[in-house]
Amino acid sequence: MKLNRKYKIRTDNLSFWYGERQALFNNSLDIEANKITAIIGPSGCGKSTHLRVYNRIFELYRGQKAEGKILLDGENILDEDVDLLDLRRRIGMIFQKPTPFPMSVFDNVAYPLKLHYKLKGSELEARVEAALKGASLWDEVKDSLGKNGLALSGGQQQRLSIARAIAAEPEVLLMDEPTSAIDPIATAKIEELMDSLRERFTIVIVTHNMQQAARISDTTAFFYRGRIVEVGDTKDFFNNPKDPLTQDYLSVKFKK
Amino acid sequence: MIRRSTLPRRIADSLFKITSAVSSSLGLLIMIIIVSTILYYGASMLSIEFLTSPSKPYGEAGAGIANAILGTLLITFGAALIALPPAMAAGIYLAEYGRDSKLASILRFTGNVLMGIPSVVVGIFVYALVVVTFGRFSGFAGSVALAFLMFPVVMRTTEDMLRMVNDSLRESVLALGETRSRGTLKVIFRAARGGILTGVLLALARVSGETAPLLFTALFADSWPTSYFSGPTASLPVLITDYTMNSPFEAMHRAGWGAAFVIAAIILAVNLVSRYYAEKEKL
């Protein structure tokens, strides 16, 4: 059964250090194409750290170091000569806090389009509209595209961040606790949105919210102290956790 | 039983409140005294002629301060042109690239020292550096001196304002596949521009009132500031010093007050404008 699955990303033996402190230990994880993979685990277990290696965003900071292999369609993105700008065009990211740029809604979404495709005029407008529709934000902002992105509500700002991330048509979307800073209704909207995005993108989401992982993901991976304890099809994972650690974690979390 | 607050505690509390309230109103009071004094002596001088005629030699009638106003504007903006690009670039380096590096901490320390150097010392230094080298006093030399005073302030403000921008914004620009330099200029700098602009305007207002550095560099001239690069150039602070300290004529003393009023008004206006921008950018 496993044989006919198509993997977009295969992580092999990934370890990670913050300076002297090792945060990830020999992570190996396969991310299926056009599916949602959820990464769960307690605070500080390394789930965000793991995700932040996929687009090498951690390199913004001094002293952080990754070892191992992450194969994107078979090619190792940790190779030194990888063009980071192109890598990040192919792998988009959504962060915990919405991050609208200090410019209009339109310019926010147009930013990556101008950057990677040098689009202008009506073509640019069409792509911006498509991205905003893709992020289920179009109806709310179509009459105020000139409004500053920072003036939107929290939930709208996060959908704007998603629109910006999908505008340049990446292949993979990384989501680092995308709903932890917004209210439940906005969260529901974004979960709904993710369901529709799955057809076009391979999604990896880090979440501290078990129920969210159970609701939206196809595969779930459980991290504990920098190690991957268990990976499985989401239904299976939550119904029949195999590892005692996973069983403990799930029972404690769900009983509360 | 609910315990009641004791009398000594309440007295101590209100004493503290009163002391801090009085102290803070002291600051306001000083401000009011200064402004009203300048108004009292200076406002009566204001006339179209005073504001549009150049200054004249001691005792001549029909003198104004227009050349000094223009000279101050020229010298100050010249200083801004010289200081802003490198100071902002240095601020960007400190906030975005250097951060905790050795070079950054040296640069920061140097900036702090430079900020503490008395302006008269900067004046003498620029006198030796520019005036002696070119063999003449000039408005440009004045700009160089003021630029030295502006540089550390603007560098510091730029760094502080950029640092206030959350790292998540930096990450999200880079995550789109943007380069560090363009992301900094197009997004991060933009996010901080209100604060940076405010800092720049305040620094401009501050140095535009400096006197000592200009005495050694721009000097003064009773003529329109047409020889900014080649000759002495009038400015308001030097005019005020000269008229009120060196002149025996009552009329010039009053003209000095008038000039004091004008420069105070200009600086107040710049402060208000920078406040306006700071508020507007806050959102």
Q: What is the pLDDT of residue B139?
A: 96
Contact B233, B69 (CB under 8 A): no
Q: What is the pLDDT of residue A253?
A: 66
**Interface contact B177-A60, CB threshold 8 A:** no
pLDDT (mean) for A124-134 = 95
- Nearest CB to A99 within list B168, B178, B179: B168
Residue B168, pLDDT above cutoff 80: yes
**Interface contact B283-A151, CB threshold 8 A:** yes
Long-range contacts of B238-242 (CB under 8 A, 24+ apart): B238/B68, B238/B211, B238/B214, B239/B55, B239/B65, B239/B68, B240/B211, B241/B211, B241/B215
**Interface contact B168-A102, CB threshold 8 A:** no
pLDDT over 70, % of chain A: 97
Reported confidence tier of residue A29, pLDDT bands at 50, 70, 90: very high
Q: What is the pLDDT of residue A256?
A: 46
pLDDT (mean) for B36-57 = 91
Chain A 154-183, CB below 8 Å of chain B: which residues?
Answer: 161, 164-165, 168
Reported confidence tier of residue B179, pLDDT bands at 50, 70, 90: very high
CA-angle at A168, arms to A167 and A174, nearest 5°: 85
Judged by DSSP in three states, A217 sits in: coil
**Interface contact A150-B283, CB threshold 8 A:** yes
Q: Is the pTM of this model over 0.90?
A: no
Say whether residue A112 is in contact with chain B using an 8 A CB cutoff: yes
Chain B closest CA to A255's CA: distance in Å? 34
Residue B121, pLDDT above cutoff 90: yes
Rg of chain B on CA atoms, in Å: 24
Residue B128, pLDDT above cutoff 80: yes
Long-range contacts of B179-188 (CB under 8 A, 24+ apart): B179/A85, B180/B96, B184/B92, B184/B96, B187/A101, B187/A102, B187/A103, B188/B96, B188/B162
Asked, for residue B90, whether it belongs to a domain, the answer is: yes
Residue of A177, A146, A159, A59 lying closest to B170 (CA atoms):
A59
Residue A1, pLDDT above cutoff 80: no
Helix axes B139-164, B66-92, angle to 10 degrees: 40
**Interface contact B176-A86, CB threshold 8 A:** no
User: Considering only CB atoms, which chain B residues are within 8 Å of A96?
Assistant: 168
Question: pLDDT tens, A88-126?
Answer: 999 999 999 999 999 999 999 999 999 999 888 999 999
CATH code where residue B137 lies: 1.10.3720.10
pLDDT (mean) for B79-93 = 97
Residue B208, pLDDT above cutoff 90: yes
Q: What is the pLDDT of residue B63?
A: 83
Least confident stretch, A87-91, A177-181, B127-131, B183-187: A177-181
Question: pLDDT tens, A3-12?
Answer: 578 999 999 9
Mean predicted lDDT score pLDDT of chain A: 93
Q: What is the pLDDT of residue A219?
A: 96
**Interface contact B176-A55, CB threshold 8 A:** no
Q: What is the pLDDT of residue B283?
A: 52
Reported confidence tier of residue A181, pLDDT bands at 50, 70, 90: confident
Overall number of domains in chain B? 1
- CATH no., domain A7-99+173-255: 3.40.50.300
Q: What is the pLDDT of residue B100?
A: 85
Q: Which domain holds residue B159?
A: 71-235
Contact A160, A109 (CB under 8 A): yes
User: Considering only CB atoms, which chain B residues are within 8 Å of A95?
Assistant: 168, 171-172, 175
Q: What is the pLDDT of residue A149?
A: 94
Say how far apart CA A167 and CA B177 lie, in whole Å. Answer: 12
Asked, for residue B91, whether it belongs to a domain, the answer is: yes
pLDDT (mean) for A203-209 = 94
Asked, for residue B148, whether it belongs to a domain, the answer is: yes
ipTM of this complex prediction, to 2 decimal places: 0.91
Residue A186, pLDDT above cutoff 90: no
Q: What is the pLDDT of residue B60?
A: 79
Q: What is the pLDDT of residue B3?
A: 85
- Nearest CB to A60 within list B100, B174, B177: B174
Residue A2, pLDDT above cutoff 70: no
Q: What is the pLDDT of residue A255?
A: 54
Q: What is the pLDDT of residue B103?
A: 93
